[in-house]
Amino acid sequence: MNKIKIYLQDFNNVMSVLRTRPEFEIVDDARDCDCLVLWQDVRAYLQELAIINKEYMKRPLVVIQHGRAATNDYLPPNNFKCLADKVCCWGERDRLRLVRAGYPNVGVVTGSPLVPFVKPKEKHDGKNIVFAPIITQHEEPDNILAYWKLKQIELAKSSLKLKKSYDKLKDAWNSWEVEPTSATEGSIPYHNFNKEWRLIAKITYIHDKRLYMGDVVQTLQSNKNHMDDCMKLLSLTDCVVGLEEGSFQLLAMAMGIPCVMVDGFQYKEYGGIDYSTVDMVKTKAVRRVKLSELEETIDNELANPDALKEERDAVLKNEFWDGVSDPIENIVNVIKGEVKNAC
């Protein structure tokens, strides 16, 4: 059987597994393909390609949802025209967005292509709290305010640990006086103090790295290792904090990690479009709190990580994966079906 020639454009690693499928041959020129497989059809050069395809090339076009709630692109205030023949949706919630946007026969629930990246949690000492700032088109002051509040909490807890070792350290400045398993003499790593409550920032290249003081993991969504890096970090994470329930939070839920959202952020503008009326994704699967309530809430979630397990499972089924079918096989079948229909 001849391989299906597909032209791929990836983001967030949603196409990674498709590249290795034996049914497909990846081509570099869209004009040589049997099917266009894109991560979006609404912005920049991919929108232009989708328009050219619609008017001239007339190949089947399949869009693979690249992130949580990405189908909002077709709803107000964006109101982008859907140029795809099919959109592979992560869950029913996204398919229904397409229906509301006027495309009742375009969305197909396949599950997320990121499901194969999900891995078991790894055993580790202490507690790791990961702050995932919201991603817009530049750094946001709300991100920094939330992160600095978290840093204050970490420093306060580290100070308490220092005070507990105060008398011993007055006699001898050795790391084992703070952490018995540490053998550093003459210099005490900060990790000895923040081990039980360690703050890590998971940022992208649009964030101002200089303002995230301490442990930072920086990833790029277009990098082939992006998702592997995210999942490695999540495998060592005990709680995720953010401003919005996005893709990273959804992946955390899939790994059984509690999430805490700082309430109050509101979009202003994105891509030249007024976003001030856009409703944030809000579910019962996370704790939503004020800055002043962060410490108590995070500590409660660390002590009871499964408190919202039932709510997380419900969100995952509706927005990520049904837990039964194979998302990659589902996507492959959609592509095959569109190519067959075009013959």
* Strand ranges (E), the chain: 4-8, 24-26, 35-38, 61-64, 86-89, 107-109, 128-132, 198-203, 215-218, 239-242, 259-262, 269-270, 273-274, 287-289
User: What domains are there in the chain, each with its CATH number?
Assistant: 4-112+324-342 (3.40.50), 128-319 (3.40.50)
Q: Which strands sit side by side in the sheet containing 35-38, from one edge to the other?
A: 24-26, 4-8, 35-38, 61-64, 86-89, 107-109
Q: Is 273 helix (H, G, I), strand (E, B) or coil?
A: strand
Render pLDDT for 210-244 as a digit per residue (tens, 0 to 9). 999 999 999 999 899 999 999 999 999 999 999 99
Q: What is the mean pLDDT of the chain?
A: 96
pLDDT for 1? 64
Q: Is 90 exceeded by the pLDDT of residue 45?
A: yes
As a whole number, mean pLDDT of residues 183-197 equals: 88
What's the confidence (pLDDT) of residue 186?
A: 73
Taking alpha carbons only, the member of 81, 30, 82 closest to residue 56 is 30
Single pTM value for the model: 0.95
Q: Taking residues 291-311, report their average pLDDT.
A: 98
CA distance 336 to 113: 16
Residue 338 has pLDDT above 70, yes or no: yes
Q: What percent of the chain clears pLDDT 70, i.e. is strictly above it?
A: 99
Each residue's pLDDT tens digit, 2-27:
899 999 999 999 999 999 999 999 99
201 forms bridges with which residues in the sheet?
A: 131, 216
- Give tens-digit pLDDT for 115-163: 999 999 999 999 999 999 999 999 999 999 999 999 999 999 999 999 9
